[in-house]
Amino acid sequence: MAGRRSDQRSVSAWRPRVPGVVEVFHAHYTEYAYPMHVHDAWTLLIVDDGAVRYDLDRHEHGTPHDTVSLLPPHVPHNGSPATPDGFRKRVLYLDASRLGDELIGPAVDAPDLRDPLLRRRVGRLHTALARPGDELEAESRLTFVGERLRSHLAPRHEAGAARRDPALARRLRELLDERIVEGIGLAEAAALVPAHPAHLVRAFSGAYGIAPHQYLMSRRVDRARRLLLAGTSPADVAGATGFYDQAHLTRHFKRLVGVTPGRYRGSGGR
């Protein structure tokens, strides 16, 4: 048919090494429409371009760009473009360790959340999940996303304002110092301390003015500087200091030092 717009589809999917995340899924569709289907995981959806309309529990919903949509597991839904050029979306599939079954009913009643802070947090979480080696940052961001979601769906169960806990912060710092190279996940750290992950991150940030993942990367960069000045190549330094690869080292090194590891090594550190 003359003038018909061609159907375009592009997807990217992966499973990160972050507890609770079953899958990350990014997609751009111009005409494709999902039929009715279910997932066994929670679907956390943001739309970056265009909009999606969908039916959930026989009610129609929509996802403009400033909305975060949370679709519960085992509840049928579909999805189709609501704008002429289709939509571009980013999706997280989360298991029950992040959101429990008690929230399914509230999510069915109100799946679309207009919350700018939550929208920014989900976007930053996707950014962290796309960077191998930044799992501690992603896990921390996911913890606060889950907490924000629960505040919408079950506000009466939320804890009060976070309290200062310098002893807890010091214990986490000791754990991070012990595992600069191998690293530690937030869930494991919270189990060892023990403390709720969100409280653990808040206590650390409140005590030291820096998030745990930022502290860990700073310590790794310090070690990298010493090795670079000793003549070790950036590729070898990356492996010796806990970075995922040389690109991961370069990104954090340049952010903290202002130059690439290669330039720093060549300058003698001056």
Same domain, 83 and 125: yes
In a domain, 4, yes or no: no
87-112 tens-digit pLDDT: 999 999 999 888 988 999 999 999 99
In a domain, 2, yes or no: no
Burial class (CB in 10 A: 0-12, 13-18, 19+), 237: buried
Question: Would you say residue 240 has pLDDT above 90?
Answer: yes
Residue with more model confidence, 7 or 232? 232
Question: Would you say residue 161 has pLDDT above 60?
Answer: no
- Supply the pLDDT for residue 163: 63
Same domain, 205 and 138: no
Question: Would you say residue 157 has pLDDT above 80?
Answer: no
Question: Would you say residue 237 has pLDDT above 80?
Answer: yes
Question: Would you say residue 43 has pLDDT above 50?
Answer: yes
Question: Which of 155, 173, 198 is where one domain is finished?
Answer: 155
Query: What is the mean predicted confidence (pLDDT) over 32-46?
Result: 91
Same domain, 149 and 83: yes
Query: What is the mean predicted confidence (pLDDT) over 150-164?
Result: 67
Same domain, 200 and 107: no
pLDDT classification of 158: cutoffs 50, 70, 90:
very low
53-96 tens-digit pLDDT: 898 987 888 877 789 999 999 999 898 888 888 899 999 999 98
Same domain, 66 and 150: yes
pTM exceeds 0.95, yes or no: no
Range of the domain at 136: 9-155
In a domain, 1, yes or no: no
- Supply the pLDDT for residue 269: 52
Domain count, the chain: 3
In a domain, 3, yes or no: no
Average pLDDT, the chain: 90
Same domain, 39 and 150: yes
- Supply the pLDDT for residue 37: 87
136-148 tens-digit pLDDT: 999 999 999 999 9
Q: How far apart are CA 74 and CA 41, in angstroms?
A: 8
Question: Would you say residue 16 has pLDDT above 50?
Answer: yes
- Supply the pLDDT for residue 84: 87
Same domain, 13 and 132: yes
Q: What tokens does 66 get? A: 């400033």
